[in-house]
Structure 1
Amino acid sequence: MNKKIGIILGGLALLLVVTGVVVYTAVFSQKPVTKVEEFLDESLPPVDSAIAVDLTKSKVKDNTLVLTVTGLESKYRTLAYEISYETQGVVQGVTSQPLDLSGKDTFVRDDIYLGTCSGKVCKPHVGVKKVSVVIEFTDSTGQKTQFSKDYDL
C-alpha cells in the first residue's frame, strides 16, 4: 500500500514540475521580434488626392486612435486598413477586413485600440510615439488604390 502511495505522489510531483516548466516557458520566454505582415503593395497606384486621411488620439478612450477619411464622394466600395507601430521593441499592428463604404462621403473609425485584449481584460501597448497607416481602397469598378503615411502621436 505504501508503495502505491509513493508511486502516486511521485507521479504527481513529476506532473507538477513538468507543468511548472511549461507555464514558465510560455509566460517568461523571450519571443523574437516579428514584423507585421506587409500590407503595403508597391504596385498599387496612390489614392485620389481629394482623399484626406487623419489619425488622432481619442479624447474619450485611453490608448485608442480615431481614423477619419474624407473626400470619398461615394466613389469607393470598400477600404481596408493596417496600422503598425513599435512598442517595447516589438512591432505590433491592427488590421481590418474590407469595410463597406457604399454611398459614403466620410468614414470614421473611433475605436482602434493600441493593445491586446483577452476576454474582458485589455492591456495597453505603452510608449507608442509613431504609427504607420496603410489604407487600401477599392472603387466601384473593383480597381484598388492605396494611401500610406506615418503619423506622430
Structure 2
Amino acid sequence: MNKKLLPIIIGVCGIGVLILGLTLLKKSPSKPQEPVIEEEQLVAADSSIVASVTWSKIKDNTIVLSVSGLKNGYTKVAYEVSYETQGVVQGVTTRPLDITGKDTFVRDDIYLGTCSKNVCKPHTGVKKVSLVLEFTDTSGKKSQLAKDFDL
C-alpha cells in the first residue's frame, strides 16, 4: 500500500511547491525599479564667453568651434554638438579637454559624419547645429553655455 501512496504524496508535494512558487512570483515586482538619476543643473557660463561655429575652409564636412573670453579662469571644457541630417538627429561629444591658462579655445576638426575603419561617410544637408559647452573653473565649479548656430 505504501508503494501506491508514494506517487500521490510526491504529486501533492509538487503541486504545493508549484503553488507556493507562483504565489511568491506574483508578489515580487516583475521589473526592478530603475534608480532615479538626477541631472546636474549647471549655472549659465560667464556672459563674457563667446562661442562660434563655422564651416571649415580646409576640411570637407567639418566645423570649427571657437571659444573666447575664458580669461584664464577655466581648467576644462567639454562640448556636445547636435544636428539634423536626413531627418535624423546626430551628434558629436567629447570628454573634458584641458584648457588651463588659456583665454581662447579652438577645435577645427569636428567632422559631421560617421567613420569606421578609416572610412568616413559625411552627414549631408546640415544647416544648423546646437552647441552645449560645459566649463569647469579653477575651483571645480561647472557652468554651461548652450547656443544654436546657422551654418
TM-score (structure 2 length as normaliser): 0.73
Q: Does 1:135 align with 2:120?
A: no
AA partner of residue 102 (structure 1)? T
Residue 77, structure 1, aligned to residue 75, structure 2? yes
SS in 2 for 1:97: coil
Give % identity: 66
Using the alignment, how far apart are the partners of 1:151 and 1:69 within structure 2?
A: 14
> Which residue does 1:47 correspond to in 2?
45
Matched ranges for 1:94-109 at <5 A: 94-109=92-107
- Separation in 2, partners of 1:54, 1:91: 20
RMSD: 1.1
Q: Which residue is 2:56 aligned to? A: 58
TM-score normalized with structure 1 length: 0.72
Distance 2:56 2:40 in 1: 30
State the distance in 1 between where 2:52 and 2:129 align. 12
Runs of 4 or more, structure 1, over 6 Å off, are none
Q: Which is higher, the Rg of structure 1 or of structure 2?
A: 2
**Unmatched 5+ stretches in structure 1:** 1-40
What are the equivalent positions in structure 2 for 1:121-132 lying under 5 Å apart?
A: 121-132=119-130
Whole-angstrom distance in 2 between the partners of 1:74 and 1:109: 17
Gaps of 5+ in 2: 1-38
Corresponding position of 1:13: none
What pairs up with 1:139-150 in 2 under 5 angstroms?
A: 139-150=137-148
Count how many residue pairs are aligned between Structure 1 and Structure 2.
113
Which residue is 2:65 aligned to? 67
Distance 1:120 1:42 in 2: 36
